[in-house]
Every structure is written in C-alpha cells, then in structure tokens.
Structure 1
Amino acid sequence: MLPLCFSLTVKLRFQSNAVVLPGPSCPKKCGDVDIEFPFGIGADCAIDHDFKLDCNKTTDGHSYEAWYSDMPVLNISLLHGQVWMKNYISYMCTNRSNGTIFLGQTYLDLSNTAFTFSADLNKFTVVGMNTLAYMIGSTYVLGCLSLSSPYDNSTAQDGSCTGVGCCQVELTSNMSYYRVYFNEDVNFDERYNTSNLSIRDNKDYCGYAAMMQIDKFKFHTTYLNTSAFWDDHGGHVPVILNWAVGNESCDVASTKSDYACRSNYSVCTDSTSGPGYLCSCTEGYKGNPYLSDGCQDIDECAENDPLPCPGHCKNTPGNFSCPDQKPSSSSHSGTMLQVLGPSVGIVLVVIAVTCAYLIIERKKLANIKKKYFQQHGGMVLLQEISLKKGASFSIFTEAELTEATNKFDDKNILGRGGHGTVYRGTLHDGSLIAVKRCVSMTSEQQKKEFGREMLILSQINHKNIVKLLGCCLEVEVPMLVYEFIPNGTLFQFIHGDNYRHVPLSTRLRVALESALALAYLHSWASPPILHGDVKSSNILLDENYEAKVSDFGASILAPADKSQFMTLVQGTCGYLDPEYMQTCQLTDKSDVYSFGVVLLELLTGKMAFNLEGPENERSLSIRFLSAMKVGKLMDVIDDRIKSDSDVWLLEEVAELARQCLDMVGERRPAMRDVADKLDRLSKIMQHPWVPPKHDPEEMESLLGELPVASLEMISTLNFSMEKRIVQGLMESGR
C-alpha cells in the first residue's frame, strides 16, 4: 500500500554550552548500525538534539533499526562526516480505468540542523513512462523528464538512464531542504499519451522520483510497467547526508567550553558542506576524536602489512622507528657521530620537512588543477580530440596563458563583456592570440558539458567567424583562446571618427559578412548554435576590415527538443529580443532581431541605446520603427550616405531591418534569407541598374544590356523594387 503523502520537518537546532559525553549505559549498536558519539540513543547519549537517534523494532518485529526522526539510518562515518539514511520515494500513479491520480510527494526539511544532502553523492532520479518531476531545493529548482513511447525511435535499456524511461539530474550544491512535485499534464503530445502504451487495461501506471545515492541505482526496464522499483527498495532509497558539529569555525569553537574535539590527539577541520566543523584523530592515531580518550595510538609494528622494518621496528606514540642494531666500525667514529649527530639530524629534519611541505603543496595544486580539468569536461574533450585527428584544437596550460598575457596585465585588456574579459597575448612562436577569462559557471551540468561544447565550437570553419584555437580547463573558471583580430570592433568602427568616410557599399558588405556568419551557425553548424548576444561590439574587423563574429564561446547549442530552449542568456540592452523578454525562450529568431539592430547602426550611425537622449529616442529600434510607420525614414538615415546612395536602395535595406525587428519572432526572416537579400543588394550596388538621374531611355538601355543572371536577381527583389522597375519601364515607353 502506497502512502498518500509523507514529510519530515526537523525543528530548530539546539546548542548546549555544557559538555555532553556518553555514559556507559548508552547503546553502542542498534541493529546493524554502530552508534558512535557524537550520535547517541537515549538521554545524555548524543552531543546535542541533532544527533539523537531512536532504536525501534522493524515492521516484522524480529530486529531493531536506528532512526533519525522519520528516516531509517543505515550507516555513520565519523571520518568523512557522513550518514546514510533511507529516503522516501515519491510517486504519481494513474488508475487506467477511471483516470484517478494518486500522489505521494516527498517533503524533507533539514534546515537549522547539522545535516545537508550531499550534492556530490546524490542525484535526483525519475523513473517511468512520460514522467515529469521536479524538485524545489533550498535555492534552486531541478527538473527531469523521462520519456518512453512505442512511437519513439529510442528504446529503454537495462542499466541506461539517459532520458528514455529514466533520467537523472545532478545537484548543484548541498541542500538542507527539498520538495518533489509531479507535472500531471506531461502528456503534452498525443504520441506520448500513456493511454497509447501497450499496458494491460485497468492496470495502475506509476512514475517515481527520489533523491538518492548515485551508486545505489541501476535502471531496469521492468520498472516501467510494474511496481518493481517501489518493491525492490521497499518504498525507500538510500541517500547520503553530510553532517557537522556546531555552527562555528574551528578557530572560534576551540575557545569555547563545548568544543567537540575532546581527544588530546585530535585535530579540527572546518566543514565544507556548511557551518560547523569535524574532528579527526591526528596521524598515527585512530578511534573517536569526540571522546576524551577516543584517539588511540596505532601500533605500526604490529598492524602494518608488510611491516616497515621486520625485526628492527619499534613503536612510538603516533609513529615508529627502525633503530640500526649493527655495531659501530670504531670508537672514534662513534664519538664523532655523538658530537655531530644532533646537528646533522636537525639540519636533515629541516630539509626533510621543507621538501615534504613543497611536495605536498605541489601535489595539492596538481590535484586542484586535475579536479578543475575533469569538472570542465577535459577528459571528454581529450577523447574527442583523439578521435578527430584533424581537429586543430589545443589544450593550453595556465602557465602558458599567464606568460602570454604578462600575468593578465590590465594593459593587455581588449574588452570586457557579460561573458568575460578578453586579453591580448603572444605565444612563444610570436603568434598573437586573444584570451577570454569566462565568468564563473555555477551549474555542474554546465561544467560537464563545457569540454564537448568547446570541441564543437572548434570545428566551426567559416571565414567570417573568429576561430576558437583552444582552451584552458585546469583553472576554476575556464579560459578560451581565439585568433587575434587587429582592427577592433564594429561598434568602435561605427561610432568612431573614421565612420564618416565609409560609403553604403562598405556598410552593406560588413552587414552581409556578419549575416553569413550567423546563417552558418543557425543552418549549417552541426548541431546548430544560437549566438545569444549579437551586437556591434561582438563583430570584429580584421586587417582587411572584413567582419568576423565573435563571443559565441558562451553561446548555447540549439537542442533538438524546443522545450529545452528555456534559458537565462545574458543579453545587451538595445539588442535584446522583446519576445525573449516575455517568454525567456531563446531561438534563432532572437539572433535575427539583434542583427536587425546592428543593421540599423550601419544605416543610421547611431547607438542601439542612448541613455543621454530624450526618452522617446533612447531606443534606436523604436525610433526607427516609428519613423517607418509615419513615412519619415530619411529623418533617421545617416546624412553621410544620403547624398551618395539611391533612395530606393536605402529603403530596401531599411525594409529588411524592419522585418528583422518584427515583434513576433515567427514573422522574422531566417538568417540565411537575410544574408541572401543583402547579397543581392550588394551585387546591385556593384552593377547599378537605375541611373543616377533616372533617365528613361538610359535605364531601358541599361536593362537590355544586363546579363541574364542579373535580371534573374532583379526578379527576386521585393514588391517595392518591382514597382520601381515597372514605373521606370512605363516612363521609358512614353
């Protein structure tokens, strides 16, 4: 019988100033669990209320089981500050005959206690067909959707928990509270409706969710159409909790009377899972550091296997020695040793301690770098690079990039943005690079997918996209290495003094090259990539002033499932898609909108957003659309290109920008269509078909001399251009 709901709430933590030590009558065991202080069963047996356990009979009445509130205790580790408990399985069951839904949703609150759920050792696990469950934690929400359907190309497999019948999500931090919910409307697609599944009529269908120990779960396909998952675990799954004594650091706690590290041979360590601290025995001792005589000397000469020096080993408190029993060669040498021995010994000890310290510190640093490398997906990245032998992608060390940028000197800063700071660098071979120090990544999922995403980005080979040369993963925040682009950003180019001399043809060429790059990312990259922050300051200009789109190393890969587009991407005021502001749904049409603003900058020479201007003129896109609406386009066009450009051509480019800025994303053109239109307009500028003075006979003559390819190109222009052609031909025929 499944319970309808269940919860655990633990009240405020009690902290006593009195020193509590267990008496001889306190139980040392309950069932199969060893009860070690600071935990205890009974009055005055635990260090405080948080560590008090109960020992109750099991349901069959034949044995005993330790409990913490409503959670059975499986094991306690003093050394690692962990406790294993049984956690409830949440469920959502549907009666197939009448559609009735039964819910059992776990609610666990360990706030203001000594315990937190371990983020490293537990995962949020969901099992079932088309089961969507999510967990609200102390500071964040995790969701998991498990799909399984006869209409799916994928099939659930034993031992595989990758989203088909089973899914798992990592915790991003230690939690003291969580609550599980199910989405009862998960059957959003008729193909996935549970009524279509081949299960016996009138049989209950259940989906399950639980936070549980990672290495205690193995998926079986029988979990999908039976109650085997519930039955195998008896409604509970193991979960690992971190614990700590007190709520202060070691430095503060050691000055107080209730300091928990009671043994003379104990050492205190600040807890890494929350407030408080842990105690452990010093090297050479073992036992319980929370008891006065709890840490006992280890007899290395008796317990070590193999013995350190058989026949010569002598145990000492916390250590051992191997005295040499061979007689001295002469009394003179013995006298010399007696005189020089202590001095030489002191020197050797100092040297040994110094060397040991340096080795330990170097090993710590190496371990930290290894940890970061693995967190950021370095192993996956190396594996992929080995498979793609032609990939020109490098793994840089922190030392290489530090030297290349002169220790990240502020003088080498090329720019700062929402995704990081970019530095100019020079490698040993003299080649110039741009090094981006990314902002911090808090999500464990981001860290694990980082290496694979970087490899995908490294495969991009387009002349109008800045090449990603490599990355550095052995640091807390990853660094990306790009090719160096010398002539700055398009923003500097547009809003600098030199822009006054730039003709419309050059502006259209830069727009075309930028559009081609974005079209490549959207339509030809595999998988497609959404830039997410298109703006003039993210478009660079090389030595020939050709455009190169940059700063998409922190962009997202377009998922196959559109429901996964929900994200919080950092955009820039003035360029951000208004539809995204309402839905938080980033799509390829969001990049189209941002590109439309860049196109306006090229047409008008004005900034996308200007806080210093009048309120109704601060947003360039709003000012432009208002001018288009009332037929005053020329009021916002840059005066420097009005005189040397045909009005119809400016109107065509403006119309394209207006389409890109449509408030409804679906009505905006795709980037490949934008690139095609700009390409046609650029070619017409190179071979203009409308004479400057619009002479009818000269225009008709010019049309007759155009090659077929150019005529076909003209035929693809929009209605306003076709109308101008017809009017010109009619006038020429008069």
Structure 2
Amino acid sequence: MYYYHKNSTDTVPMLLLLLFSLTCALQFQAKTVALPSASCPETCGDVKIVYPFGIGAGCAMKGFDLECNKTKASSANVTYLGSMPLLNISLLHGEIRVKHRISSMCYNSSSRDITYRNGGMTLDNPPFTFSEQRNRFTVVGVNVLAYMIGSTNVLGCRTQSNILTARNGFCDGDGCCQVALTSNMSDYDVNFNPMDNTTEYYTNGSSTDGAEYCGYAVMMEATAFQFRTAYLNTTLFWDENTGRVPVILNWVVGDETCDAASKKVDSYACRSNNSKCIDSSNGIGYLCNCTDGYDGNPYLTDGCQDIDECAVNVPRPCPGHCTNMPGNYSCPDEKPPSYSGTVVLVVGLSTGVVIVVISITCTYLILERKKLANIKHKNFQQHGGMLLLQEISLKQGTGFSIFREAELIEATDKFSDKNILGRGGHGTVYKGTLKDGSMIAIKRCVSMANEQQKKEFGKEMLILSQINHKNIVKLLGCCLEVEVPMLVYEFIPNGTLFQFIHGDNGCYNIPFSTRLHIALESAQALAYLHSWASPPILHGDVKSSNILLDENFAATVSDFGASILAPADKSQFMTLVQGTCGYLDPEYMQTCHLTDKSDVYSFGVVLLELLTGKAAFNLEGPENERSLSLRFLNAMKEDRVMDVIDDQIKSDSDTGLLEEVAELAKQCLEMVGERRPSMSDVAEKLDRLSKVMQHLWVPAQRDPEEMESLLGESSVASLEMISTGNFSMERRIVQGLLESER
C-alpha cells in the first residue's frame, strides 16, 4: 500500500527512470549470445541435435539453423542443413557429416547426346568449409577427365579407357582416380572435359539402344568410398547412393581468434565455466571444448559436467579408496598393514610375476625396435636408396646427403607448427636448424601414387641434386627411411616474390630495375632447367609464390613438387591436373600434356604481376577482370596496355622499355604453345632489356666503345647523344636502342 506525502505528479520521474532502466536491460540482453530453451527439439530422425545447432526460432546460433522434414520416400524425419541431409554432428572435432550431390556426365547411345549435372557447392565461410584431411575429389567412369575449380586452386584427374585393368578396391586411374585437397575449401564447381575419343568409345562399345553410360565426379568422405568395377558403363554408382554421397564439413563459431573473442563477454561462445577455446587451423573462427576431466556441451551454461572417474561404469583407478573431485580424483594412501608369512609369500610371488612381465616387455620392445628398423630399411630400398648411395659414391663432390629421420625431427623441434614455412599441394615445408647451426628447409611430401614412382624416386633425386645454378634452390639431400620421403633444401631467408609484390607494402617500393632483374634471374633458372639440365626438367608449377628472394633480393626458383623429367617418348604425359588459378596453361588443361611451353605461359603471368602489381587471379573483381592475363591481353588488343601497368613504374621508367616487356609477356601468353618463345629466348630478351636500362641512365660512367660492344654498332649515334648531354630526344633514343636489340 502506498501513502503519498507529496503531490502524485512526483511519481512521473520515477516511472520514466524505471522505463529507461528496463529498456537498457533489454538492449544489453539482446547483445548476448542467445541460448536455446528447453522446448527446442533434441533429435530429428536418427540425428542428435546439439547446440550451437538447432531447429526452430531461438534454438540455434546464427548460421547453424537446421530443418526437420519428412522425406518423400517415407514418413521418417530427416535433418537438413540448407538442402543437404545431415548425418551427424561432432562438437569435439568441429565437424558435421552431410550428404552432397554427385556431378555427372552421361552419354545416351540413342540420341548420342552428352548431358551434365553439376553438384558443386558454395558454403557459408565461416562457419563451414570442406575438410582438407577427411575428403577426396573422386572421379568414376571410363575415359573421364574432370576437375574441380575452387576460389584459389584447381584439382582434377583423368580415368583410363581400358576397363579390363580395373580392380575392385583400387582407385589408381583405371576406371577411378582420386586427388587430395590442398586446403580447406568453401566452394567449388565441377567441370567435365570429354576426351577426343569419348563419344566414339561409347558408341562402339554399346550394343543396346538407349543405353546410358556415365562418368561421375564429386568431393566426398575418403573412407566412405570403395571402388567397384560394376560402376563402369552403368549408373550403379548414382543409383546406390541415390545421387548423394557423404562429405565432411569443418565448422567454427565466430570470425575471430580465441584471444579476441574471449574479451567480448557478451558474444563469447564458450559459455560453460569448465570450457576452453581452440583456434581454428585456418586462422578464422574458433571452437569450444570441455577442459580435461569434464564432458558435455561447452556452448551451454554449465554444459561441461564433471566426469566421475570413480563411478562403477568407469574403470576405477583405486577400487574402494577412490574419491571423486571436480575435474579429477584422488587415491589416498592406506595405513600400512603388519606383514605376515602369507603376505611375504604373496609379495614374493608378485615380485616374480613383475620380473617375468618386465622380461616379456623388454623382449617385446626389442622385437618392435628391430621391426621398426626393418621397416625403415624396406622404405629405404623401395625409394631407391641403394641406387642413390651407389651413384653418390661414384660422383664425389655432389654435396648431396642422406639424412636420418631422427636428425630432421631434432632440427625441426619434432616438426613443430611454429617452424612451418608453407603448405602446398605436394607437401608441407618446415624450417630446420642442424647441429652445426646451418639453416635448412625440409619438405614432407604427400604420398606416392604407385610402386613405379617409389622405384624411380632415388634416381630422380640424384638428377635434381646435380642441378647447380645460382637461381635454383639447391637440393641438399633427402630422407628415405620413412614411408613418404622427405627432401632437404637450402634455406632462402627473404620470403617469396608473391609476398614481396602483394604484401602489406604492396609493390610501391619496388623500382622497375629491381622487377626486371628478378624476372631475368627467374627466366635464366627456367631456361637452365629446359635447355641445360640432362635430362631436361619441366617445373610444372611456376608462380610468384614459388620464386624465393634472398637478402639481396636475388631470385631463386623453388618447389619442384609438380616437376617431371621431360619424357623421351612424347606419348607419355601427365594424367593428373594440378596447378593454381591464374597460372595454368590453357593448352595443358585441354590435353593434360605438360611441356616446356607450359612453364613459359606461367612465367608470362609472373611477368604480368611484376609489371602491374596485381594478383594473377582476383575473385572480388568483375567476372571479365578476374584473370590478370585475360585483362592484360584485352588491353593489348585495344592498344591501351599502359592503363594496366603499375602507376609507379610508369612515372619513373621509359615507356618504350615497358612496352617491350609487355610485348614479351604477350608472346609468353599465346594460347597455342608452339607460338610461344622458349625460356632461353625469354631470358635472352630480358637480359638485353636489362643492359639497355642499365647503360641508358649512366652514359658518363661508360666508355662509348664499351657500350657499343654491349649494345651494337647501330646504337652509336644514340650513345653519342646521351654522352653529350642531349636528353631532349630521350624517347627516340630509347626506341632506337630497343629497335637495335630486336
């Protein structure tokens, strides 16, 4: 009951204050992470629904909404994430398992038409990405070339046409092939490229009118696929899986690191008091887990509950004396009993049993160590180690060494993540320090596809070790006693050309002379591989991130993971399509035939990066400007090449020189490989342009006869004009020098 001692109008300010406080409280509550109510469904069909996933309004964290619908085929409920059926959720590992559509290319023998179904997908990133470790890109069918195009890379492979050699359980190219992912992807499309004889093969092989022969391609869970020869020339693969196969998706919460997210109390997703935060391996977002000794859902308040280690259903560490504690347990010491004859006998027997157990254990460990030594010896022989040792003994002074696994483990601090220099499609590279203090780079390669590759590994390593060029990273040795060999290279300290051009500072501090020098040294290295190595070596993955720079910014070509020895028989070619968007030779994409002109095309793209300061491929721009090479060629065609060249080098460099380099890049980017220059021609042209630039601006320091010998007699008049200080004719002089070089 209220008693008013003053006028009743005095209560109005109090009511306004109360209303304001309530509004602030509601606003504060809206900023916090919404938690599910008790009415939210806990299951749908066979799937257990756990937060942050949920079904219905207010039951899921943003981006984790699910739907529960009945299927057309039956009355059973099915859980959906978007349009994909959900099979299960893992809170501990941050994974979900969903069913993903298969892409297909089908030939109808009646109509002789080829129809396509694309099952590519684009995920929300974050929170979802395709798992690099758990999935494989899989192609099934006869004579099928398929490749997946993601935001940052291209992967693919081709199946062979001889189905007689296909075997159940073996996906090695005969009717089936698989490719490992190179990173966690958030989107991809599937393209089929019918071989020249695909239609002819199906037509000749068909004896039934209306029969349909299909090739399939899909990213799917690696352990869920088992190849069967019955999949060939039938639709059984599609029918068995009803058009969908399992795929593993990684997920994270938020878009920050643990350190940044934990400071925002209202939005921090790890709600339980006994939870911990784990940064995503991609560097975007994080996961929550319960701390040791607790189990449950860390995304819910009080979701992590203590594990009772002393419970009956758990192996008890000390029966009868175990005391459970929050997150742990204790086994208090008992009062020592008095010893009797029986106890002494029991102790004696126990001691004997312990001695026997120790003896058996020691014997087992010795046998296991011997078994491990035998495995290492077998791996050494399989990888051509004996052949390599013989060749090294015959060729003294090669500087090539055979490293022990223990030596490399110690050099990299057990291959610690802090020593990772980079990851690629052919392995992970670690920085290491040997006992003598010298720095090395160690590449742990991906698995080898077949036994033939293992037998030829030692021979190819010896050939690569013979490469002695100042602009090619030196192969110091290898380790062969492991299942997959490790390669040891010299350490180059100043990062990659990609980082130098596209890093935080961009390329605004790089003069044109430095860019031209880097291009020249890179071209000379590739020319050496193509023309002077014996046998010639094709790099296969030329790009700015595979060109390293030392402390003096000298270029060093690296990463020969995609390289092959040039085959003597031109009918031999690669069946695996790998590369990087923006650098891939269009002719190689069509034929799968890697040639020296494929390296020339990729180098042309690197030359464009140096000229323009732009990345080779940009997803954020308009569709017709995403490819740097396409944008450049259009500008050349429309006679506006200076529009795409970096503004800085336009302002401090001669137009004639820039146009000459641009014309060279255009020649490298010819669609037909035969029209492209060789790497030797490219290196020679860049060398001449570099000399022109060097001597053009310092004539007073050079004797005219010396410059004449360097640049040719036709340049004498131009040189005299420069030496007398007549710079008003600068552009004509440059053009004259360039014309003489042609």
Which residue matches 2:149?
136
Deviations 1:83-138 (A, max 9, x none): 10000011121211122222211242223552111111111111111222222212
Which residue matches 2:48?
34
Deviations 1:18-54 (A, max 9, x none): 4322222211111111111111112211122x11111
Which residue matches 1:257?
266
Deviations 1:629-674 (A, max 9, x none): xxx99989xxxxxxxxxxxxxxxxxxxxxxxxxx9xxxxxxxxxxx
Q: What residue ranges of structure 1 are gaps of 5+ in the alignment?
A: 1-14, 330-376, 404-420, 483-513, 523-527, 539-548, 616-626, 637-662, 664-734
CA distance in 2, matches of 1:55, 1:137: 30
CA distance in 2, matches of 1:633, 1:169: 53
Which residue, out of 215, 218, 238, partners 2:246?
238
CA distance in 2, matches of 1:60, 1:27: 23
Identical residues among aligned pairs (%): 42
Q: What does 1:121-132 align with in structure 2 at a 5 Å threshold?
A: 121-132=134-145
CA distance in 2, matches of 1:198, 1:268: 59
Deviations 1:121-176 (A, max 9, x none): 111111111222222212222222222247xxx72221121222112122221122
Deviations 1:285-339 (A, max 9, x none): 101111112111111122675432233221111001110111599xxxxxxxxxx
Which residue matches 1:611?
693
Structure of higher CA gyration radius = 1
CA distance in 2, matches of 1:464, 1:259: 54
Which residue matches 2:352?
none
Report the Cα offset of residue 65 of structure 1.
1.0
Which residue, out of 143, 154, 159, partners 2:169?
159
Q: What does 1:228-627 align with in structure 2 at a 5 Å threshold?
A: 228-254=236-262, 255-273=264-282, 275-302=284-311, 306-326=315-335, 383-385=382-384, 388=387, 390=389, 392=392, 393-395=401-403, 397-398=407-408, 437=441, 455-460=458-463, 470-471=477-478, 479-480=488-489, 518=532, 520-522=534-536, 555-558=563-566, 560-561=572-573, 563-565=592-594, 566=598, 580-583=668-671, 590=678, 593=681, 597=684, 610-613=692-695
Which residue matches 1:657?
none
Task: Tell me the SS of whatever aligns to 2:478.
Answer: strand
Which residue matches 1:20?
34
Paired amino acid for 2:148: M
Distance verdict in 2 for CA 1:230–1:259, change over 3 Å: same
Distance verdict in 2 for CA 1:594–1:108, change over 3 Å: closer
CA distance in 2, matches of 1:157, 1:570: 40
- Aligned: 1:172 with 2:182: yes
Paired amino acid for 2:289: S
Normalising to structure 1: TM-score of the pair? 0.54
CA distance in 2, matches of 1:36, 1:399: 40
CA contact (8 A) 2:535 2:565 kept: no
Which residue matches 1:73?
86
CA distance in 2, matches of 1:202, 1:591: 51
CA distance in 1, matches of 2:31, 2:284: 17
Report the Cα offset of residue 231 of structure 1.
1.1
Q: What does 1:597-676 align with in structure 2 at a 5 Å threshold?
A: 597=684, 610-613=692-695
Report the Cα offset of residue 468 of structure 1.
5.4
CA distance in 1, matches of 2:159, 2:530: 38
Deviations 1:156-199 (A, max 9, x none): 2211212221121222211222222222xx23248974323355
Paired amino acid for 1:281: C
Report the Cα offset of residue 453 of structure 1.
8.3
What is the root-mean-square deviation of aligned Cα atoms in Å? 5.1
CA distance in 1, matches of 2:463, 2:213: 46
Q: Count the aligned residue pairs.
A: 474
Task: Tell me the SS of whatever aligns to 2:239.
Answer: helix
CA contact (8 A) 2:475 2:487 kept: no
Normalising to structure 2: TM-score of the pair? 0.54
Distance verdict in 2 for CA 1:378–1:56, change over 3 Å: farther
Which residue, out of 60, 64, 71, partners 2:77?
64
Which residue matches 2:219?
211
Which residue matches 2:640?
none
Report the Cα offset of residue 228 of structure 1.
0.8
Task: Tell me the SS of whatever aligns to 2:276.
Answer: strand
CA distance in 1, matches of 2:690, 2:65: 63
CA contact (8 A) 2:670 2:676 kept: no
Report the Cα offset of residue 263 of structure 1.
1.1
Deviations 1:699-723 (A, max 9, x none): xxxxxxxxxxxxxxxxxxxxxxxxx
Which residue, out of 130, 134, 149, partners 1:117?
130
Paired amino acid for 2:273: N
Paired amino acid for 2:458: L
CA contact (8 A) 1:22 1:46 kept: yes
CA contact (8 A) 2:109 2:202 kept: no
Paired amino acid for 1:182: F
Task: Tell me the SS of whatever aligns to 1:612.
Answer: helix
Report the Cα offset of residue 591 of structure 1.
5.9
Task: Tell me the SS of whatever aligns to 1:200.
Answer: coil
Deviations 1:191-248 (A, max 9, x none): 9743233553431111111111111111111111111100111110001111111222
CA contact (8 A) 2:403 2:477 kept: yes
CA contact (8 A) 1:128 1:224 kept: yes
CA distance in 2, matches of 1:238, 1:515: 43
CA distance in 1, matches of 2:283, 2:530: 50
Paired amino acid for 2:94: G
CA distance in 2, matches of 1:39, 1:253: 20
Task: Tell me the SS of whatever aligns to 1:167.
Answer: strand
Task: Tell me the SS of whatever aligns to 1:133.
Answer: strand
CA distance in 2, matches of 1:76, 1:516: 51
Report the Cα offset of residue 481 of structure 1.
6.2
Paired amino acid for 1:241: L
Distance verdict in 2 for CA 1:274–1:313, change over 3 Å: same
CA distance in 2, matches of 1:296, 1:168: 43
CA distance in 1, matches of 2:453, 2:273: 47
Which residue matches 1:501?
none
CA contact (8 A) 1:172 1:444 kept: no
CA contact (8 A) 2:403 2:479 kept: yes
CA distance in 2, matches of 1:589, 1:287: 64
Which residue matches 2:521?
none
CA distance in 2, matches of 1:461, 1:175: 33
Deviations 1:521-566 (A, max 9, x none): 14xxxxx766999xxxx9xxxxxxxxxx998967543362162414
Task: Tell me the SS of whatever aligns to 1:521.
Answer: coil
Task: Tell me the SS of whatever aligns to 1:459.
Answer: helix
